[in-house]
Amino acid sequence: MKNNFIKCGICGWCLEILWTGFLSFRRRELKLTGKSSIWMFPIYGMAAFIGPIYRRINKRSAVFRGIIYTMAIFSTEFLTGAFLKKRGMCPWDYSKAKLNVKGVIRLDYAPLWFATGLLYEKILKR
């Protein structure tokens, strides 16, 4: 589990840096600056729990599994975001997004979390 935690933490950091770099491209910022926070490593590392979940639902369709992962990621993002926000340490703020929940999750990110959950599943099967 420790190795999976580290794999998931690093993978999450890389995905976040790529995503924020892509968003800077969309804003026409040619530096393509991607960024993250040290707080994100343990949050992404918690995706290691997808492994045990996968072993229980691996016979189900990818759509079912993706929905389960999306709900788990949203729950984790909400709980960790609310915890960090209460302490003034949350590295993200979605309060200006249309489909936000208390500024800590964005419902329009569901397809991204769906795909990310299935990606983590592949990473953890190795």
- Continuous H helices in the chain: 2-26, 40-45, 50-57, 62-86, 110-125
Highest average pLDDT, of 28-32, 35-39, 83-87, 122-126, comes from 83-87
Q: Confidence band (pLDDT; 50, 70, 90) for 123?
A: confident
Q: Does residue 7 have a pLDDT over 70?
A: yes
Domain limits, the chain: 2-125
Give 65-84 pLDDT, tens digit per residue.
999 999 999 999 999 999 99
- Per-residue pLDDT, averaged over 7-21, amounts to 93
Residue-level pLDDT at 14: 94
CA-to-CA distance for 74 and 40, rounded, in angstroms? 14
User: In the chain, what percentage of residues exceed pLDDT 90?
Assistant: 76
- Per-residue pLDDT, averaged over 77-100, amounts to 96
CA diameter of the chain:
44
CA-to-CA distance for 90 and 94, rounded, in angstroms? 11
